[in-house]
């Protein structure tokens, strides 16, 4: 699988790459190898700046530290003898630099320093790309929310019809979740990606008194944060990164699940845009919500990956026996799948087609039942809340049994008499049965979400 990101957020190669390896940053062998080489090269430059390596050693190591010059497969085979790929990489890199510069390769470091720092570099590239796709998704959600601020539809709780809402409010909920996810990723990106440099057991003893200075220079070379001390077995940074990624996946998965439900043939309130997509190998009539389905295919895997990283966060003494090793591919998968979900999510929202007329038709087809709460509230001052509730519940049951609307049931029989006695006119009842008059703060909430989005977008920038 190639690591080069195709233009326009397209997928990289591989049989399933078009689905699960789209967008985001590279996380494959080449990306990790180059990140490890970048860490080694930055260390050589830091050592030279600290006066611990020959003049020009940093440039010599940097010139040699190019992934294309090394065989990742061979390094992986040699890693079987050491438990990680850094020792064979150090030997190969040392052989690739002039003898006078060899002392600057890996001096003072341990394998975990290089791999953990590489993980931070790989994560940063992925977070940058994922943030861009989340920004696009948020822009599209904001556009939907503003355009449909007052588009009335049925709200659904426990998968059953509840009370009216607006599609603008639904999209505002999507928008707010995306923005909060983006904020969480930005916090990790800006403050929690730190260099790892502690040497054999976190003391940097091999560098004497110069250890902290070299660590700071290394962080500066790589534009990573300087931690208070090495974090070899303090895995909170990895766990916070994983949690932020899982949060973004959760936000995207909720949107995709809503779309799959609203796009059902019997509901048909939204559909994915585009042509030539959504077909079935067996059913020519199908138009499946492909983007939403693939988002869910990505996001459903995030909780398990997060759980693995959380379990791996308990690590022994100064170096873990296995838990650290469990992080590498797990984190790479979580970065890859979250990035893919964000790319698909941006496309899904940008092309989403909303059918406001169908939303209103579905609401009207409910026969006024979603307005039962409003009618009960209208009657409560005269009848008391319990009696009002019971009256509307009985009318609803009667209407359902007769295939009538709630309004018809309330305007006939015993219910009509009780409404008249309560001083409720038919005009008042009709007004209470109008979904557009029972939207509460939907518009205000939508406006608040849009305003908060504009503020966040201005703060985070392009």
Residues annotated as catalytic are: 280, 319
- Structure token digits, residue 384: 């008391």
CA distance 151 to 361: 12
Q: Taking the CB of residue 225, how many other CB atoms lie within 10 A of it? A: 14
Write a three-state SS string for 22-39: ECCCCCCHHHHHHHHHHH
CB 97, CB 54: distance < 8 Å: no
């Amino acid at each position: 699988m190639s690591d080069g990101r195709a233009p326009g957020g397209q997928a990289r190669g591989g049989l399933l790459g078009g689905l699960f390896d789209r967008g985001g940053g590279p996380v494959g062998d080449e990306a990790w190898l180059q990140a490890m080489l970048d860490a080694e090269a930055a260390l050589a430059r830091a050592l030279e700046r600290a006066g611990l390596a020959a003049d020009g050693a940093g440039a010599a190591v940097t010139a040699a530290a190019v992934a294309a010059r090394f065989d990742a497969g061979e390094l992986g085979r040699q890693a079987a003898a050491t438990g990680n790929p850094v020792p064979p990489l150090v030997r190969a890199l040392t052989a690739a630099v002039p003898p006078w510069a060899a002392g600057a390769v890996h001096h003072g470091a341990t394998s975990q320093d290089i791999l953990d720092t590489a993980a931070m570099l790989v994560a940063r590239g992925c977070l940058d790309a994922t943030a861009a796709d989340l920004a696009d998704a948020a822009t599209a959600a904001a556009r939907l929310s503003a355009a449909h601020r007052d588009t009335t539809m049925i709200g659904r709780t426990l998968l059953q019809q509840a009370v009216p809402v607006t599609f603008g409010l639904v999209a505002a909920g999507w928008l707010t979740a995306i923005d909060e996810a983006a904020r969480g990723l930005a916090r990790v990106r800006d403050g929690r990606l730190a260099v790892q440099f502690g040497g054999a057991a976190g003391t940097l003893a091999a560098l004497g008194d110069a250890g902290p200075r070299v660590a700071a220079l290394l962080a500066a070379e790589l534009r990573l944060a300087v931690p208070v001390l090495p974090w070899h077995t303090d895995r909170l940074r990895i766990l916070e990164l994983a949690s932020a990624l899982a949060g973004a996946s959760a936000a995207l998965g909720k949107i995709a699940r809503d779309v799959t439900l609203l796009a059902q043939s019997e509901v048909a309130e939204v559909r994915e845009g585009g042509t030539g997509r959504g077909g079935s190998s067996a059913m020519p009539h199908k138009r499946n919500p492909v983007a939403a389905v693939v988002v869910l295919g990505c996001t459903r895997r995030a909780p398990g990956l997060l759980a693995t990283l959380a379990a791996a966060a308990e690590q022994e003494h100064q170096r873990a026996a296995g838990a650290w090793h469990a992080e590498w591919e797990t984190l790479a998968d979580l970065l890859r799948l979250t990035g893919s979900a964000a790319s698909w999510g941006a496309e899904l929202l940008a092309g989403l087609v909303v059918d406001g007329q169908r939303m209103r038709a579905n609401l009207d087809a409910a026969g006024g039942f979603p307005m039962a709460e409003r009618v009960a509230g209208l009657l409560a001052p005269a009848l008391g809340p319990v009696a009002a509730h019971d009256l509307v519940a009985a009318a609803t049951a009667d209407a359902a049994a007769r295939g009538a609307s709630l309004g018809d049931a309330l305007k006939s029989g015993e219910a009509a008499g009780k409404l008249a006695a309560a001083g409720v006119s038919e005009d008042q009842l009709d007004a209470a049965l109008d979904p557009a008059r029972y939207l509460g703060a939907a518009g205000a909430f939508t406006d608040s979400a849009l305003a908060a989005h504009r503020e966040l977008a201005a703060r985070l920038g392009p």
